[in-house]
Structure 1
Amino acid sequence: MLFYSLQETVAMTLAALVLDWLIGDPAWKRLPHPVVLIGRWITLLEKRLLPAPGGPRTEARTKLRGVGLTAATLVVAFGAMAAVLWVAQALHPWLGYAVNIWFISSTVAVKGLKEAAMLVYRPLAEGHLEDARKYVGYIVGRDTTKLDEAEITRATVETVAENIVDAVVSPLCYALLGAAPLAMLYRAANTLDSMVGYKNDKYIDFGWASARFDDVLNWLPARLTGALLVLTAALTPGAKAVPAARSIRRFARLHPSPNSGIPESAVAGALGIELGGVNVYHGRISERARMGWPLREREREDIRRTIRMMYGVSYWIAGGLLLCVLFDWP
């Protein structure tokens, strides 16, 4: 452990999760969010490292530069967070606790995901389809201008389900292993993947290292998320645990990501709906693997059901952490 005992880290990770439930990403923030700063750093390095179109650009050379981008971003994110935490601890131990809790909470986004999804749900419930299309366009990369209610629901459910790993379970796992510095390193890796980890002409080589490293970091948390989603489905109205487990076994491997298919297939199976299908990106049609069994039509209430499942996963984690704190384990 870098700065704290394991018991202290468990307690502070629990506090950070509760803080995210209560506050999330505050609208009154005066300083840029850490993820925004990481994004600016990535953009700066990309301009310097990504070979210009039409210039000398071999696969090996471009991949090597992408490795440099990944390594530099992870080192800076971890080092800067470690330095901030070290200074806070040096000033006062309780300041160190507060800083650690706050920065861990900034890597988690339970409340933020709920708010983003509800921003889509509310206009759907009010019959304002154009507004729902606009807001779902904020959280997905596909074209949303012609989506009907069922497709808007699918896009929102897929986004929330996938991000149960990226924005809930993974950052909490790495916070437990290495406090705020390791949680921030994970968030940097995830931001790299979201910015340059695409399999298109521009990024397929340059973003290769970022995408692969994000896959590695999410491998175990994704499988933990699958198990927690099955447990959550057993206690969530409108969801079923056995189909969730069967859906993971049947469909998760069909997803192009080794990790994202697990939460998406679990949610699809639990709710008795089908996820995946045809997406349009900048006029190009893309067929995504279909997950789950279409036992019924998708409906806007599936958004709220998925939000409840996301919260259920976070409650399982919080309960485990609370037991560790109460019984002073390990």
Structure 2
Amino acid sequence: MAPELTLGLTLVALLFEAAFGYPALLVARIGHPVMWAGRLIAFLDRHLNREGVPPRLRQFAGLVALLVLLTVCVGAGLMAQKVLLAIPFGFLAVAVLGSALLAQRSLYEHVARVAEGLDAGLAEGRAAVSMIVGRDPEALDEAGVSRAAIESLAENFSDGIVAPALWMAIGGLPGICLYKAANTADSMIGHRTPRFLDFGRAAARFDDLINLPASRLAGGLMIAAAFLMPGASARDAWRAVRRDARFHKSPNAGWPEAALAGALGLALAGPRVYHGQLVTDGYMGTGGRRECTAADIRRALALYRITDGLLIALAGAGAAAFWAF
């Protein structure tokens, strides 16, 4: 597809999702595309991930499952795009479909609920943060709940917004379908547990690969946003990325987390408890303040809104540049 078309689709999708999100009524009636992909992943897991099979065969089965998933999802996106672009106002229809795979509005709302919950009490804050993180909320104090929310905001900005937008800009609706299918597979089977250590390896590695450019872009956008936000430091954000990002357990999440931590003078990540197990990790924003509060969540959300605005502006500038030539 022509870049001016895919960038235009991405711009409209970002604007539509930021304004309207994905209606709760549709979730109740027909579910969400990620839920549909999740059902296929669960089906493949049940039928291909057999216990007692040698590790290499389980790895091969996981690769087959990933290829089947990607083929189905990309094929569906390609077919929908081809059909819709052939009819009047089909461009808008494709963009609206793509917007369902972005998460600007829902991410903001979920993280904001954590701040609101903490205002009401620690129990409410824990309940709200349990909706967006995998760690045990009962092991978190107020600072831990706040850090978890801010870390989730940074990481999900990269893999829930920047990455799908980037892949839509590259490949239109099939591109964003490919990304969301792979990302959903990683979240479901890409864990280092006995069941998924081998079967989910292909999904985890592929997700790391396709998130690599987006995580760097997300970190860069946050640094730029810090320059525009009063009270934030673009210089410290850049320093934190250069110093700390490589020490994150994820090859990608460290970039936006370090940028956000440095911009706001916080220390994020570090050792955390997931499902009763301590996971060691590097600190993002080394030397920053560890005792985060609901006020820090709101500062992070303010920076997020500026950063997301820059992403939309970048998509618009790209589309305009290609249309001009």
Same fold (TM over 0.5): yes
Q: Give the counterpart of 1:122 among 106, 113, 116.
A: 116
Equivalent residue number for residue 63 of structure 1: 59
Q: CA deviation at 1:326?
A: 4.4
1:199-278 to 2 correspondence within 5 Å? 199-278=192-271
1:281-320 to 2 correspondence within 5 Å? 281-296=274-289, 297-320=291-314
Aligned 8 A contact 1:143 1:279 in 2:
no
**Cα distance in 1, alignment partners of residues 70 and 302 from structure 2:** 33
| 1:155 and 2:140 matched | no
Partner of 1:145: helix, strand, or coil?
A: helix
Q: Give the counterpart of 2:71 among 75, 87, 103.
A: 75
**Cα distance in 2, alignment partners of residues 177 and 93 from structure 1:** 23
Number of equivalent positions: 321
**Cα distance in 2, alignment partners of residues 213 and 33 from structure 1:** 23
Q: CA deviation at 1:277?
A: 2.5
**Cα distance in 1, alignment partners of residues 283 and 269 from structure 2:** 4
**Cα distance in 1, alignment partners of residues 324 and 156 from structure 2:** 29
Q: CA deviation at 1:23?
A: 0.8
Q: CA deviation at 1:10?
A: 1.9
The 3 A distance-change label for structure 1 pair 241 and 71 is same
Q: CA deviation at 1:325?
A: 4.3
Give the counterpart letter for 1:261 in structure 2.
Answer: G
Equivalent residue number for residue 35 of structure 1: 34
Equivalent residue number for residue 173 of structure 2: 180
Equivalent residue number for residue 142 of structure 1: 135
**Cα distance in 2, alignment partners of residues 31 and 98 from structure 1:** 21
Equivalent residue number for residue 23 of structure 2: 26
Deviation sequence 1:31-87 (CA, Å, 0-9, x none) = 2211110011100110001113xx2x2121111011011111111110011112222
Aligned 8 A contact 2:117 2:128 in 1:
no
Aligned 8 A contact 1:238 1:305 in 2:
no
Give the counterpart letter for 2:174 in structure 1.
Answer: P
Partner of 1:298: helix, strand, or coil?
A: coil
Q: CA deviation at 1:209?
A: 0.4
Aligned 8 A contact 2:12 2:92 in 1:
no
Q: Give the counterpart of 2:82 among 86, 105, 115.
A: 86
Deviation sequence 1:239-292 (CA, Å, 0-9, x none) = 210111010111111112111111111111111111113322232222222111
**Cα distance in 2, alignment partners of residues 167 and 244 from structure 1:** 21
**Cα distance in 2, alignment partners of residues 184 and 310 from structure 1:** 24
Q: CA deviation at 1:313?
A: 2.2
Structure 1: state its 5+ residue gaps.
none
Partner of 1:204: helix, strand, or coil?
A: coil
Partner of 1:234: helix, strand, or coil?
A: helix
Aligned 8 A contact 2:244 2:286 in 1:
no
Say which is worse superposed, 132-141 or 81-90, in terms of deviation: 81-90
Q: Give me the identity figure in percent.
A: 37
Aligned 8 A contact 2:271 2:279 in 1:
yes
Structure 2: state its 5+ residue gaps.
none
Say which is worse superposed, 25-34 or 37-46, in terms of deviation: 25-34
